[in-house]
Amino acid sequence: MRRKILMGVLALALPIGTMAALSPVASAHKAPPNPVSCHVSATVSISPALSVKGVLSSKGKTGTTTVHVTYSSCTTATGPASVAPKTLTILSAAAKDKAWKTDGNSKKGYYLGVCSAFASKTTAKSLGKAVKNMLVAGGTLKGAKAAEGTVGAEVGFNIIGTVKGGTYPTASHGASIAAGLLNDANNTNLISGCPSGPVTTIDIDPANSTAVL
């Protein structure tokens, strides 16, 4: 359950990629011939806050996750590079709580912000729509796929995709992003299903999170 909750949270909240599986994704993309390599940090804000019971809502209503992504220490084979920050707004639809008995909710109600609900296919679809054709350092990100894994010594996720277009000499090249969850009390509470109280932010570790675009 801990791994499923984490994977769902990542699917909803992290900046780039779509969830394809709970196992490592084998990359069919070649390494970028002229990549931009950066450290990645992100501020993730969630509304309504995640909690054990969530918030009773109604069908058709949505919650919002706002992700501000910042790139730092970017380099290429020819020297330093600058990559503009990105902001994503990800909408998640109110849904019935599959763990309604455990969470103490109504079987027929529609809820937002339920901690136990973030391993769903609906979450992955929301993220996929949010990052479709997203502009990145070297062009446009296409076909992004993500899987749970390790990032340094932390639990996190790894994604692959293809950057097409842009100003690089090649028409297309592979892209990869590794994002780790900071090992702190907030994320521990989040991964555990929010037993210690509501969660309004998710902490990404900039020291271990990287992107090659």
Domains of the chain, by residue range, sit at 2-212
SS3 at position 181: strand
- Tokens 């271990």 sit at which residue? 208
For residue 19 the two structure tokens come to: 């969830």
- Contact between 145 and 20 under an 8 Å Cβ cutoff? The reply is yes
| Mean pLDDT, contiguous 10-residue spans, the chain (213 residues) | 45 36 36 69 90 95 90 86 82 90 95 79 53 67 72 75 66 74 87 91 86 82
Per-residue exposure over 72-103, b if at least 16 CB sit within 10 Å of its own CB, e if not: eebeeeeeebebeebebebebbbbebeebeeb
Encoded amino acid at 82, one letter = S
Structure tokens given for 104: 């103490």
- The DSSP 8-state label assigned to residue 35 in this structure reads -
**Do 182 and 153 form a contact (C-beta atoms < 8 A)?**
no
pTM of the model: 0.72
The residue to which tokens 């309604």 are assigned: 100
Six-digit token pair at 189?
A: 């509470």
Q: What is the DSSP letter of 116?
A: G
Rounded CA-CA distance 44/12 in Å is 10
Tokens of 51: 């909690």
Q: Are 22 and 85 spatial neighbours (Cβ–Cβ below 8 Å)?
A: no
Examine residue 206 and say whether the peptide bond preceding it is cis (omega within 30 degrees of 0): no
CA dist 73 and 38 (Å) reads 6
Q: What pLDDT score was predicted for residue 104?
A: 94
